[in-house]
Amino acid sequence: MAERATKRIKVIGGGLAGPEAALQAARYGCEVDLYEMRPTRSTEAHQTSDFAELVCSNSLKSESENTAPWLLKQEMRRAGSILLAEADASAVPAGHALAVDRIEFSRRVAERIAAEPRITVHREEVTHIDENDPNTITILASGPLTSSALAAELQRLTGSDYLAFYDSISPIVDAGTINMDRVYFAARWDKGTADYINCPFTKEEYDVFLDALTTAEAVEAKPWEQIPEAAFETRHLDRSETGAPGLDSETWVSSESKGSQPTPEKLQYFEGCLPIEETARRGRDTLRFGPMKPAGLTNPKTGRWPYAVVQLRQENLRADSYNLVGFQNHLKFGEQNRVLKLIPGLENATFLRYGQIHRNTYINAPTLLTETLQLKAHPSIMIAGQLSGVEGYTESIASGMLAGRYAAALAHGKTPTPAPRASANGSLTHYITHAEGKKFQPANITFDLLVPLEEELRKKVRDKKERHKIQCGRALEAWNEWLAKPHLHSAC
């Protein structure tokens, strides 16, 4: 039984990081107030008032052993991440990836929160944070779509400007409206189970589709999409879903640009992270070698790879809806309905959701945050989730998990010990707190962030997979040691 903490924990945000932080802090004996503004006030992307709503894809990325997303999840499982456990319990078939039934996932998280007597839920927008309250540790986990009043409050506290960048949503199609005679199930290179529906194109079909896509009408930029006159770089981050084997069928790519205000005609996009129509404009074959890559996807009807392919990934356990992998876009809904129906097999499709693009907010963590996710200027305020500069569902949950544990230690009058640098969790934190402030970009977990192998070992082990295996082994060892440290247990 955990001993009672002397300070309360206030968690702002009922998305992914917030509930995980709240549940962790409660588990370690703290009284927690969890604030969520929905349904009173919603964001541009959320559609429900549920906790832990996945606003876009339903994938928590790769489960392939010795990949970076797998490593992060393994560490989280060992540390007892509550949301990841509920994600595991809500899993749907998705080849090498962990994808979840989003409704079931949210329902389970809500159940866990309701069952925790130490958590009090407040359905209200937080617009003020008292940095001088000696009795409260605040975890700010209000996400990439933090309400503007709270963003202004954050600016007051940090004294620095916030950033805006763009992020995209792929369309979802009603499975019952897919013409199954024209499509086929297959796993790329026959690796894993054949969970993806593939829509095969001939050259003629591809040409027609490409012409329609590149000339379709785009949405005008809304006020919330405008990039503010940022003090440092403005950026765009996007996901390009590839479905490639060995990957988690989802690769987030980012790059940066110095931004000026976008015009309605032309939003600023970044190399390697474009909406599908922008990628298509790069060249007639760009899609065929990118998100519409047919390699390894043999069509059983022809025995050959098609000219190009659109992959559909299962959305929920009932398998009654699928998302169009990599088809985030910024087209008008009517135009999407017209253009996407040119995809073979989707000629009579009903789209349950169209692609969209949204503003995101995050802080300049290298300047503002300590390795235990506390604001340097106000140590009783912590930042977790996407707002802290990590990128992705799993990374946001991981960050909430760490914040909850650190906050619990602080509430018990202990000094939290940061996650070890060698671990995936520690590497993510190390990245956001040590990257160059001026060029800071949010990041997913990748091997680039982990401690590299010594030069000698690198030369000896030529195979990349083998090197990754060694890095994962070292990370898990360091993580286990950290988990076993008494300072964490003394907080419970």
Question: What residue ranges bind ligand FAD (CB under 6 A)?
Answer: 12-18, 35-38, 43, 45-46, 55-57, 125-126, 141-147, 150, 167, 169, 239, 358, 360, 385-387, 392-393, 396
Closer by beta carbon to ligand FAD, 140 or else 478: 140
Other beta carbons less than 10 A from residue 295's beta carbon: 13
Report in angstroms how near the CB of residue 311 gets to ligand FAD at its nearest: 15
What is the Cα–Cα distance from 142 to 16, expressed in whole angstroms? Answer: 9
Closer by beta carbon to ligand FAD, 12 or else 475: 12
Report in angstroms how near the CB of residue 221 gets to ligand FAD at its nearest: 15
Closer by beta carbon to ligand FAD, 142 or else 471: 142
Element housing 184 (H / E): strand 184-186
Cα–Cα nearest to 195, from 393, 85, 58: 58
Report in angstroms how near the CB of residue 368 gets to ligand FAD at its nearest: 16
Closer by beta carbon to ligand FAD, 37 or else 478: 37
- Binding residue per annotation — 345? no
Report in angstroms how near the CB of residue 227 gets to ligand FAD at its nearest: 15
Other beta carbons less than 10 A from residue 125's beta carbon: 16
461's tokens: 């082990």
The DSSP 8-state label assigned to residue 392 in this structure reads S
Report in angstroms how near the CB of residue 298 gets to ligand FAD at its nearest: 28
**Peptide bond just before 69 cis, omega within 30 deg:** no
- Binding residue per annotation — 29? no
Closer by beta carbon to ligand FAD, 46 or else 73: 46
Write down how long the chain is: 492
Residues 199/308, Cβ–Cβ less than 8 Å: no
Element housing 237 (H / E): strand 234-240
Cα–Cα distance list, 299 to 187, 323, 404, 475 (Å): 11, 20, 48, 40
Report in angstroms how near the CB of residue 211 gets to ligand FAD at its nearest: 28
In the block, residue with structure tokens 């305020």 = 381
Closer by beta carbon to ligand FAD, 8 or else 239: 239
Closer by beta carbon to ligand FAD, 219 or else 387: 387
Strand-by-strand arrangement of the 381-383 sheet: 119-122, 32-35, 8-12, 136-140, 381-383
Report in angstroms how near the CB of residue 373 gets to ligand FAD at its nearest: 12
Closer by beta carbon to ligand FAD, 72 or else 491: 72
Cite the DSSP H helix spans in 255-363.
276-280, 333-340
20's tokens: 């995980």
Closer by beta carbon to ligand FAD, 112 or else 467: 112
Report in angstroms how near the CB of residue 119 gets to ligand FAD at its nearest: 15
SS3 479: helix
28's tokens: 């370690």
264's tokens: 């309605």
Report in angstroms how near the CB of residue 74 gets to ligand FAD at its nearest: 17
CA torsion 52→53→58→62, rounded to 10°? Answer: -30
Report in angstroms how near the CB of residue 172 gets to ligand FAD at its nearest: 12
Closer by beta carbon to ligand FAD, 125 or else 131: 125
Q: Is 261 exposed, middle or buried (0-12, 13-18, 19+ CB in 10 A)?
A: exposed
- Binding residue per annotation — 213? no
The DSSP 8-state label assigned to residue 449 in this structure reads G
The DSSP 8-state label assigned to residue 277 in this structure reads H
Cα–Cα nearest to 21, from 101, 109, 105, 103: 109
Burial 59-96 (b: 16+ CB within 10 A, else e): bbbbbbebbbbbbbbbbbeebebbbbebbbebbbebbb
What is the Cα–Cα distance from 295 to 218, expressed in whole angstroms? Answer: 30
- Binding residue per annotation — 13? yes
Report in angstroms how near the CB of residue 55 gets to ligand FAD at its nearest: 5
Closer by beta carbon to ligand FAD, 143 or else 291: 143
Q: Which residue in the shown chain puts its C-beta closest to ligand FAD?
A: 15
What is the Cα–Cα distance from 440 to 390, expressed in whole angstroms? Answer: 11
Task: Output the known binding site.
Answer: 13-18
Task: Output the known binding site for FAD.
Answer: 13-18
